Amino acid sequence: MQGQEHTPPDGYRRTLIVTGDDFGLSGGVNQAIIKAHREGILTSAALMVTGKAFEEAVALAKANPGLSVGLHIVLLQGRAVLPYEKLPHLVDRDGNFSNNSLLPGMRYFFSKEARRELREELRAQIERFLTTGLRLDFLSGHLNIHVHPTVFGILIELSQEFGVRAFRLPREGLLLNLKADSSRPFSKFFHYLTFNLLSYYHKMTLTRVGFIFPDRVYGVLQHGDINARYVKYLLQHLPQGVTEMYFHPCVLPCQEFTRWMPDYHPQEELEVLMGREIKELIKAKSIRFAGYSAL
């Protein structure tokens, strides 16, 4: 765990955080995350406070206190907390964010009004999370929007105000990923350059202000297809330190999930999280499970 000294307890040298993203997006996602936590290897969940099944997710989290829960910032492919009248530069008249990251990302850089609205919406999402009574264990973002330089800067300021100290910093090794799964090499190379450069820049800031974050995060390059072969290879070659692996499980059919992520394989990812062979491999490799709350 970077950002401060971290000595793995009980003789373990490798610690694994297993996170389910988009908690609260739909009933199917909620069902999958809780099932994978109770019967599988999932330790944490990233909660969308603007999701259609947000209230159900909160109730499920409270009924499963061992589940570490963080805030999954939504600025793309979803609804805002605040109404259109307060966010005219960020959402359409129905309160929906864009599905494309390019134009909003540019607007954050060049529009003073957009940045002001962005700050208010991020504050509103954090405050909605805190009203649940759940402990806010970490910050992440849908499509990793939380590492956009403008979004990141605002989040760091707000996090210090609200006492949040853990952050998903998405970066992973390209070579190890391609050895595990050689598909989509050009797409993976692009994402590798983008997120590793951003993370290199942000790491200095997070360390300076006293945040903690995993040493590496898997799921950035393999998004939507965290298959068994890929996970087995990673576990067999897992480096020392703290690693997060994030998934997008869902019980299908689920209209809300397939609307936003039609090319993902959520049922297969749920099966990986539940698989006996994966559990046995983790045990054989003496890998310690943890949620963000434990770190």
Model pLDDT for residues 224-278, shown as the tens digit of each residue: 899 999 999 999 999 999 999 999 999 999 999 999 999 999 999 999 999 999 9
CB 60 within 8 A of CB 87: no
For the chain, the structural domain boundaries read 9-294
Sign of the four-CA dihedral 213, 219, 221, 223 = negative
- pTM equals 0.92
CB 18 within 8 A of CB 249: no
Structure tokens at 244: 């997060």
Q: Which residues, in sequence order, are CB contacts of 207 under 8 Å at separation 6+? A: 2, 3
| Residue 57 pLDDT | 98
| Residue 154 pLDDT | 97
Q: Is it true that the peptide bond before 249 is cis, omega within 30 degrees of 0? A: no
Short-list 66, 71, 62, CA closest to 129: 71
Tell me the C-alpha distance between 155 and 147, whole Å: 9
Q: What percent helix, strand, coil does the chain show, rounded to 5?
A: 50, 15, 35
Using DSSP bridges, classify how beta strands 139-141 and 216-218 pair: parallel, antiparallel or unpaired.
Answer: unpaired
- Cα–Cα distances in Å, from 215 out to 99, 203, 245, 294? 30, 10, 11, 15
| Residue 2 pLDDT | 54
Low-confidence ranges of the chain (pLDDT < 50): 4-11
Q: Does domain 9-294 have CATH number 3.50.50.60?
A: no
| Residue 6 pLDDT | 44
Axis crossing angle, helix 149-162 with helix 102-110, rounded to the nearest 10? 70
Structure tokens at 105: 């990302």
Backbone angles phi, psi at 216, to 5 degrees: -160, 160
